[in-house]
Amino acid sequence: MMEAARPGSARVVGCCALSRRTLILSCGSLMLVGQEARAEPLPGPRGQVILTVTGAIGRTNSSGMAELDLAMLEGLGLHELTTWTPWTNGETEFAGVLASRLLSALDAHGSEVVGTALNDYKSIIPFDDFDSYDVLLATRMNGTPLRIRNKGPIWVIYPWSQYPELNDEVTRRKSVWQLNHLHVR
């Protein structure tokens, strides 16, 4: 089901399936570093890069940006969220890293992020959202990594089931699917 991995490419076809061993190794090293001094550079990605983060971040692993593969992202701590969404039937079980967790791991400073999708769709998400809600950068749906065809590799998921007030157009616009780039400012 997976496409051939092309290391170094920011554009990814499908999602990379990493061996369990790689996942554990990556998450271990990232977590170790996360607790060390912030200035320490981020380790490089081993698998396909599914997300690049640019802008006001303190930790990078490439020139001025952080490149993350699925294992690095999920290594920050897999958070689960079951919710309805305006685009799916019934309740769906999502898993991924909390946006707030990723931003603090990258020592991000700013007030908002600009999320860009594979089709160049852009949306601005304020940091306030991450304080108020558990906004998820979902990488899995019902336990399986998201493919592009089901709105992967990353889908910004708000806890709609938990907070009915999120059922509005503004939040819909911020729920970027096929996200592959974040710019912190």
Which residues of this protein are in contact with another protein, per CB under 8 A?
A: 3, 6, 9, 11-14, 84-89, 118-119, 147-151, 164, 167-169, 172, 177-178
User: Between residues 48 and 100, which has the closer beta carbon with respect to another protein?
Assistant: 48
Burial class (CB in 10 A: 0-12, 13-18, 19+), 16: buried
Q: Which secondary structure element, helix H or strand E, spans residue 103, and what is its range?
A: helix 99-105
Show the beta-strand stretches assigned E in 99-178.
112-117, 122-126, 136-141, 144-145, 155-157
- Provide, rounded to whole angstroms, the least separation between the CB of residue 117 and another protein: 9
User: Between residues 12 and 98, which has the closer beta carbon with respect to another protein?
Assistant: 12
- Provide, rounded to whole angstroms, the least separation between the CB of residue 169 and another protein: 7
User: Between residues 88 and 144, which has the closer beta carbon with respect to another protein?
Assistant: 88
Q: Pseudo-torsion of CA 13, 19, 25, 27, nearest 10°?
A: 50
Cα 120 to Cα 158: distance, rounded to the nearest angstrom: 21
Cα 159 to Cα 66: distance, rounded to the nearest angstrom: 26
Distances (CA, A) of 144 to 1, 16, 24: 12, 11, 17
- Provide, rounded to whole angstroms, the least separation between the CB of residue 56 and another protein: 29
- Provide, rounded to whole angstroms, the least separation between the CB of residue 163 and another protein: 12
Half-sphere exposure for 64 (CA within 13 Å, toward CB): 5
User: Between residues 104 and 161, which has the closer beta carbon with respect to another protein?
Assistant: 161
- Provide, rounded to whole angstroms, the least separation between the CB of residue 131 and another protein: 24
User: Between residues 92 and 104, which has the closer beta carbon with respect to another protein?
Assistant: 92
Q: Is 82 helix (H, G, I), strand (E, B) or coil?
A: strand
